[in-house]
Structure 1
Amino acid sequence: MTRNPLKPKLLPFTVALCVSLSLVGGGVLLAQLLHLAACPLCVIQRMLYLLLALAAGSGLVLAASPLARMIAALAMTAIAAAGSGVAAYQVWIQRFAPNTTCAAEMPWWEAFVEWAGRLVPMLFQPNGLCSDPAWKLLGLSIAEWSLLCFFALFLLGLFSLLRKIP
């Protein structure tokens, strides 16, 4: 049986999958073309977008089960909320604490980012500063755009979680 990813029960998962993968791909492309350096918080956001895409993809693959769709929507919502928090923290650093580093000392997540950067440098190499907005579009930094995208994906996940489609 062929599934139509544009059916109402699948559309939020399709949108979240496409948006998340597009944002990761666009971020990598932007970094390469404009020679922008990703910071550890940027890398964490990329990882969260990839996790969100995985959750959305599982919602598409397991679409036949309403319970599986609900669990995938819950995962999407939680991941997008976490991404919103990370992006909001980076926005706060950029706007109100420009002399702040990502963290006072290397916490577990920065060590994890360093490890991932050694494995897949093009995606996860952290060589930028969290306090440096580096590039802006329409007056907003990449972190601010990411915050808006994560919040929109959070609302999409919440919508998918709360609606009643069998």
Structure 2
Amino acid sequence: MHLAHSRSLFFLAFIACALIMGGVFYLEYGVGLEPCPLCIVQRVFMIAFGLISLAAFLHAPGKIGWRIYSALILLCALAGAGTAGRQVWLQTAPAQDPASCLPGLGYLLQTMPFTKVVSLLFDGTADCIEINWTLFGMSIPEWSLLAFAGLILLAAYQLLQRD
């Protein structure tokens, strides 16, 4: 039996996501930083990762079940890392002319087809390029990318476990 049993790792992953989301909500409501559309997409992937991890912990699946849960959380972590990586790239790339006045995500989802909304989100907006806050010289998307990288490692470990 492994020292880090799969069920306890799913719970650890859920706690990590809950702490990250707590920090994110503190930055939004305590500090007053407004999330850009790419930040919201990253939040969705983080919340999905956390909820799937919680479901896996509560379900306590067998070998095939935890591999399925592990694959699902790996997909969430990869998608979140891709989104965070795109935002980091937008922030570090030479200045372009992004759409500076995109309406809110809710409005876009109500008025446009989903594929068009996704395309607009990944093109980036002026809000996505702005760096309003840093910690140890890293912006929020860079911290998000780092967090998703850690979650990818955790999910890959879960998926590749032999037990």
Q: TM-score, normalised by structure 1?
A: 0.78
Q: Partner amino acid for 1:78?
A: L
- Over the matched positions of the two proteins, sequence identity in percent amounts to 29
Residue 160 (structure 1) aligns with: 158
Which secondary structure state, in structure 2, belongs to the residue aligned with residue 130 of structure 1? helix
CA contact (8 A) 1:40 1:110 kept: no
Residue 119 (structure 1) aligns with: none
Question: Deviation of residue 102 (structure 1)?
Answer: 7.1
Residue 129 (structure 2) aligns with: 131
Structure 1 runs, 4 residues or longer, greater than 6 Å off: none
CA contact (8 A) 2:84 2:144 kept: yes
Question: Deviation of residue 9 (structure 1)?
Answer: 2.0
Equivalent residue runs for 1:1-166 within 5 Å? 8-101=5-98, 111-112=108-109, 129-165=127-163
Long gaps (5+) in structure 1: 1-5, 116-126
Measured on the aligned residues, the alpha-carbon RMSD in Å equals 3.0
CA contact (8 A) 2:38 2:84 kept: yes
Could you tell me how far apart the structure 1 residues matched to 2:141 and 2:27 are?
Answer: 13
Long gaps (5+) in structure 2: 113-124
Q: TM-score, normalised by structure 2?
A: 0.79
| Alignment length (residue pairs) | 147
1:60-101 per-residue CA deviation (whole Å, 9 max, x = no partner) reads 122142221111110011110000000000000111144453
Could you tell me how far apart the structure 1 residues matched to 2:37 and 2:19 are?
Answer: 20
CA contact (8 A) 2:99 2:126 kept: no
Residue 120 (structure 2) aligns with: none
Change (3 A) 1:156 1:112: farther
Change (3 A) 1:92 1:162: same
